[in-house]
Copies of this chain bind each other. A is one copy, B any other.
Amino acid sequence: MPTLPALDPSTVPERFGSAYPEEFRERVRARRKRALGNELGLTHYGVNLVTVPPGSWSALRHWHTRQDEFVYVVAGELVLVTDAGEQTLGAGMAAGFPAGKPDGHHLVNRSTGPAVYLEVGDRVPADEVHYPDVDLFVDASFVMRHKGGEPY
């Protein structure tokens, strides 16, 4: 008998922590991710259900050279920060960040309750990640480097 293919995300373990260099972890430390796509056996793209507590960030502001990113707010309120300014996103709002568009983005919870969003990103090879606000980039081999090139 095949396995029933749907799941309740609350049954998926939460992933804590960040791979950023220690000096950049503070603002994302409380963020929690459930890797729904992995749990469902998908390999072409990742789908995470992310909980962002008050005061936390989704990530450092960043953009990808080769990955398309999509976010959909499920609950609560998040402020999307990009070069264009700030947009407050409530439940049901969507945003997209096309590969190679050099405009850093992140989601900040300035509200008093938790916010939850879905994030999708494809797994194209040789993606780089750029961080306009800090001395960091991730190269095409996933190595975190200073902007001058030296690895962390």
Contact A95 B41 (CB under 8 A): no
Contact A84 B2 (CB under 8 A): yes
Contact A5 B95 (CB under 8 A): yes
Q: Chain B's nearest CB lies how many Å from the CB of A58? A: 13
Identical subunits present: 2
> Interface size of A by Cβ–Cβ distance < 8 Å?
47
Which B residues are in CB contact (< 8 Å) with A39?
Answer: 96
Contact A3 B84 (CB under 8 A): yes
Which B residues are in CB contact (< 8 Å) with A87?
Answer: 4-6
> Which chain A residues numbered 63 to 79 have a C-beta less than 8 Å away from chain B?
67-68, 70, 72, 74
Contact A103 B2 (CB under 8 A): yes
